[in-house]
Amino acid sequence: MKFVTYVAASGKAAPGVLSADGKRIVDLGSAYPTLLALIEAGPAGLDAARRLQAAGGGTALAGAKLLAPLPVPPQIRDFMVSAQHARDAGQGMQRLRAMLEGRPVPERDRNAPVADIYRNQPVYYISNRFNVVGPDAEVRWPRYCDWLDYELEFGMVLGKGGANIPVDKACEHIFGYTIFNDYSARDRQFREMDGRMGPAKGKSFDTGNGLGPCIVTTDEMTEPYKAKVEVRVNGEVRGRNTTGEMMHSFEQIVAFVSEDETLHPGEVFGSGTIGGCCGLEIDRFLAPGDVVELEIEGIGVLRNRIVRG
């Protein structure tokens, strides 16, 4: 099933599930007030969605206003599990920094090794769960930023909480998959990361986390690590890859993060940039007015327009 949050006829946000043909939104508000409440209900929530979906009816998807499926997730954890991105992003940051400081720009080394830390464990930071926007929403350019970037990420949504989850049981805790765009103020990011505390204002600004257009359940997306991905800016393809490029699966990530820490239903995990799918890796950044489209096979397209804040 594909779950969404949309603006219902009442003008309020409501949870919905797409019809089997994907053309209509079946309202789930009679069963659960939010999509998060449905996820927290576990199997009972999915059963209720199936019953309402089978009953038919609903609103035409075409023309409906979709919001982020989880407008305020309980948590967002963003990882770096792409070997290509782990190698090329650091070099891209060095190149951008050199350019802004008027120094010679170093050449890229596409054969450079990936640091062991990225291969040995999933590396991540906690993102701002209050900055989420959905499909076709405007992303406001931070006033302190001159170099804004996009990041195509494979998103996972937890369906069941728990701690110390074994890898071979982690699949039982995954509700489904979505698309995550981790918009990044690169010039602020490289300066603040000199403090070795991770990105802060480089990643945290209003509208900076794109999420959607839907959440696809695991029973529908049965081969999550074989999906093709593509990023387009103003219709021009900027990057292509597959989700198979991840060094650590979401099952491995769940097992790692849950070590002596309780996870909660509805948490969003971002894979980090899929290799080649951000401007930092190709020295091409965004401009006001740009339309950014991220597409993952089996999920759909997450589209946003960049506007001056």
The residue type of 299 is I
CA angle 90, 91, 93 (to 5 degrees): 65
CB atoms within 10 A of CB 62: 7
Please choose, from the candidates 298, 294, 268, the residue with its C-alpha nearest in 3D space to the C-alpha of residue 131: 268
Three-state SS at 5:
strand
pLDDT in tens, 206-231: 999 999 999 999 999 999 999 999 99
Is this model's pTM higher than 0.85 or not? yes
Please choose, from the candidates 309, 18, 301, 10, the residue with its C-alpha nearest in 3D space to the C-alpha of residue 136: 301
CA-based R_g, the chain, Å: 19
pLDDT in tens, 137-195: 999 999 999 999 999 999 999 999 999 999 999 999 999 999 999 999 999 998 888 88
Q: What is the mean pLDDT of the chain?
A: 97
The residue type of 194 is D
Helices (H), 62-157: 83-100, 116-120
Q: Does domain 76-308 have CATH number 3.90.850.10?
A: yes
Q: Which residues contact 50 (CB under 8 A, 6 or more apart)?
A: 1
Please choose, from the candidates 206, 205, 80, the residue with its C-alpha nearest in 3D space to the C-alpha of residue 154: 80
